[in-house]
Chain A
Amino acid sequence: MAEHILRGKAFKFGDGISTDLIIAGKYAHLRSNLPELAKHAMEDANPEFVKLVKPGDFIVAGSNFGLGSSREHAPLVIKLAGVSAILAKSFARIFFRNAINQGVPALICPTDGISEGDTLEINLEAGLVHNVTKNESYSFTKIPPTMLSILNEGGLIPYINKHGDLKL
């Protein structure tokens, strides 16, 4: 199998990015209209984000990314905005699981060396992030096997539809 490389630019965020910063509760009325909801992704953290992000780009953050609500709309709007992976020093538990269930790679990785706008290449199989701009590489923590099998099917519902059951 050919190696699958994700390539895009980094959008940098700090520590403790809450689900309210990712997609504010005040937009709950748009949750059954996902294209409209996605226009507000990351709005209170970086109001320019949805205008600037391009398909394939990355969110790069500090620790405890996605703390707060269980709203799966958080990884969903990030996915709909075109983001192909989220890199953070650590993730809140529910968000991490939700991201994988939506087929979005959530990678635990040292992120201090990555700056806003850096071009990154991510090799999911090798567990490596290459910072093209800075010519540096970082390795990320392996995704646990249970979650990798869900991610590889594109999310939890496709996984269940294929396998008919939870098979861990």
Chain B
Amino acid sequence: MGKTISEKILSVKSGSDARAGDIVISAVDLVFVQDTTGPLTIRQFKSGNKQTLAAPRRTALFIDHASPSPNRQLSNDHIFMREFAAGTGCLLFDAGSGVCHQVVAEQLARPGDVIVGSDSHTVTAGALGAFATGMGSSDVAVAMSLGKTWFRVPETIGIKVTGKFARGVGAKDLVLYLIGMIGSDGATYKALEFMGSAVENMPVWQRLTVSNMAIEAGAKVGLFCSDDITKKYLKSQGRGQEYTPISADADAVYERMIDVAADQLEPMVAMPHAVDNTAGAKSLAHIRVDQVFIGTCTNGRLEDMAEAASMLKNKKVHAGVRLLVCPASKKVFTESISAGHIQAIIEAGGIILPPGCAGCLGLHQGALGDKEVCLSTANRNFKGRMGNPEGEIYLASTATAAASALTGKICDPREVL
């Protein structure tokens, strides 16, 4: 009987015939932490008997969540991380490098890898065909030390997306629609595997958006097969030689299949305070917004900057709306400057933030005031997420966010395109 992508990767990395439901011990190819979970991970690592890293050059520390630091405590956490990196020889991506998941996609993730990170959005690298999943500090500390971890091999839900996306509709709308349909626990303990004609033609930057949000349905991983599009992406990052083809067998066994017709999708929004609380953008046209945030590991890529810039060029952000734009990595930032996207966004009234997580998790750079409404391209809108339980967060695509920044209300982007 054939295997899913998860079963194939975990078979290779565990040296066994891994099938859904099995418990396996798997080699780990890349392990990383960020600055809000890293200090605890390092302390857990140091409380272990074995004090050496299994693979220093495949262990990465990212300073991205509070970057640059807003206060002394987090500054001291950053010092603690820098000292650990200097002492062990592991990789350090300091403030300004960008969000860990974007940098992992650009520089580190390879098809077929097993990747664990102490951040739930580690699933993002599933877009490149890596079995990438978020874990807590203890599990990640053990993976750093031993170079392995244990998994229950997940059952897989196949998501077959066919047809073509309409103008103004894309990957973010697809994944919000899917989460709205199956719920925030609809894929708990499961793998999601994306397939179908709409996926075969989907560029990597959009695949990353879809994989990034697999965790919002509870999934362990959100996987795409690796293909020519993956190969071209890796080549564009100077890593063409790291490509390997990974795909499911034709007779792989799926727990269930969900069919989605891309051409039937419309711009989607997740309403407060749950990612599965979704509605069409059109039905929310009465909601006034105080802040629009374009960025994060979900939608802070070069193509997001390009889309925002093209919609905002020679226009003005609506009076009373703060538009915050944050490129997800230094590479995205410099390329967006070269392409003129940053200039167009600033001239329209946008505020550019340094590459990192910015206001996504409520630490700094865009915390909400009481009763304020934010339309964000991030992946979470939980109560309190952006620093204030009295704030309201709506999630949408970059196109919907840019359109809403122009009109001051939640706006179906097809109305301004």
Asked if B77 contacts A31 (CB within 8 A), the reply is yes
Tell me, in angstroms, the Cα distance from A144 to B65 when the chains sit together.
34
Contacting residues of chain A (13-37) with chain B, CB-CB under 8 angstroms: 16, 18-21, 24-26, 28-33
Partner-contacting stretch, out of A3-11, A133-141, A159-167: A159-167
**From residue B197, how far is it (CB to closest CB) to chain A in Å?**
30
Asked if A25 contacts B146 (CB within 8 A), the reply is no
Q: Using Cβ atoms and an 8 Å threshold, which residues of chain A touch B148?
A: 166
Given contacts A31-B39, A98-B136, contact A68 B188 (CB under 8 A): no
Contacting residues of chain A (45-79) with chain B, CB-CB under 8 angstroms: 63-64, 67-73, 75-76
Query: Counting CB contacts under 8 A, is A168 at the interface?
Result: yes
Asked if A20 contacts B136 (CB within 8 A), the reply is no
Residue of A nearest to B120 (CB): A70
| Selected contact of A32 from candidates B80, B137, B380, B387, CB within 8 Å | B80
Tell me, in angstroms, the Cα distance from A76 to B387 when the chains sit together.
21
Q: Using Cβ atoms and an 8 Å threshold, which residues of chain A touch B383?
A: 18, 20-21, 44
Against A, the Cβ 8 Å flags (1 = close, 0 = not) of B139-164 are: 10110011011101000000000000
Contacting residues of chain A (77-113) with chain B, CB-CB under 8 angstroms: 90, 92-94, 97-98, 101-102
Asked if B36 contacts A71 (CB within 8 A), the reply is yes
Query: Counting CB contacts under 8 A, is B385 at the interface?
Result: yes
Tell me, in angstroms, the Cα distance from A166 to B141 when the chains sit together.
13
Asked if B138 contacts A28 (CB within 8 A), the reply is no
Given contacts A146-B150, A157-B48, contact A28 B134 (CB under 8 A): no
Asked if B385 contacts A32 (CB within 8 A), the reply is no
Given contacts A70-B120, A98-B136, contact A166 B25 (CB under 8 A): yes
Query: Counting CB contacts under 8 A, is B110 at the interface?
Result: no
Query: Counting CB contacts under 8 A, is A114 at the interface?
Result: no
Asked if A20 contacts B71 (CB within 8 A), the reply is no
**From residue B20, how far is it (CB to closest CB) to chain A in Å?**
15
Asked if A157 contacts B218 (CB within 8 A), the reply is no
Residue of A nearest to B387 (CB): A26
Query: Counting CB contacts under 8 A, is B108 at the interface?
Result: no
**From residue A144, how far is it (CB to closest CB) to chain B in Å?**
8
Tell me, in angstroms, the Cα distance from A126 to B81 when the chains sit together.
43
Q: Using Cβ atoms and an 8 Å threshold, which residues of chain B touch A122?
A: none
Q: Using Cβ atoms and an 8 Å threshold, which residues of chain A touch B184?
A: 16, 64, 67
Residue of B nearest to A30 (CB): B73
Interface residues on chain B, number (Cβ under 8 Å):
57
Tell me, in angstroms, the Cα distance from A32 to B73 when the chains sit together.
8
**From residue A77, how far is it (CB to closest CB) to chain B in Å?**
12
Report which residue of A30, A72, A97 has the largest number of chain B beta carbons within 10 angstroms of its beta carbon: A72
Asked if B384 contacts A68 (CB within 8 A), the reply is no
Tell me, in angstroms, the Cα distance from A165 to B380 when the chains sit together.
36
**From residue B276, how far is it (CB to closest CB) to chain A in Å?**
9
Query: Counting CB contacts under 8 A, is A38 at the interface?
Result: no
Tell me, in angstroms, the Cα distance from A33 to B73 when the chains sit together.
9
Query: Counting CB contacts under 8 A, is A156 at the interface?
Result: yes
Q: Using Cβ atoms and an 8 Å threshold, which residues of chain B touch A18?
A: 382-383
Asked if A98 contacts B48 (CB within 8 A), the reply is no
Asked if B382 contacts A21 (CB within 8 A), the reply is yes
Q: Using Cβ atoms and an 8 Å threshold, which residues of chain A touch B120?
A: 68-70, 94
Q: Using Cβ atoms and an 8 Å threshold, which residues of chain A touch B352?
A: none
Contacting residues of chain A (144-160) with chain B, CB-CB under 8 angstroms: 144, 146, 155-157, 160
Query: Counting CB contacts under 8 A, is B66 at the interface?
Result: yes
**From residue B43, how far is it (CB to closest CB) to chain A in Å?**
8
**From residue A68, how far is it (CB to closest CB) to chain B in Å?**
6
Q: Using Cβ atoms and an 8 Å threshold, which residues of chain A touch B208?
A: none
Given contacts A18-B382, A44-B389, A64-B184, contact A25 B76 (CB under 8 A): no
Q: Using Cβ atoms and an 8 Å threshold, which residues of chain A touch B44?
A: 157
Q: Using Cβ atoms and an 8 Å threshold, which residues of chain B touch A168?
A: 23, 25, 150
Query: Counting CB contacts under 8 A, is B74 at the interface?
Result: yes
Tell me, in angstroms, the Cα distance from A140 to B336 when the chains sit together.
53
Asked if A94 contacts B135 (CB within 8 A), the reply is yes
Against A, the Cβ 8 Å flags (1 = close, 0 = not) of B185-197 are: 1001100000000
Asked if A44 contacts B384 (CB within 8 A), the reply is yes
Q: Considering the complex of A and B, which 7 residue pairs feature the smallest CB-CB distances, nearest first? A: A72-B136, A98-B136, A25-B361, A29-B73, A101-B138, A64-B185, A70-B134
What are 7 pairs between A and B in contact, CB < 8 Å?
A25-B384, A29-B70, A64-B185, A70-B136, A76-B40, A144-B23, A161-B48
Q: Which residues of B contact A (CB under 8 A)?
A: 23, 25, 36-37, 39-40, 44, 47-49, 65-66, 70-71, 73-74, 76-77, 80, 117-120, 122, 134-139, 141-142, 145-146, 148-150, 152, 184-185, 188-189, 218, 220, 274, 361-363, 367, 380, 382-385, 387-389
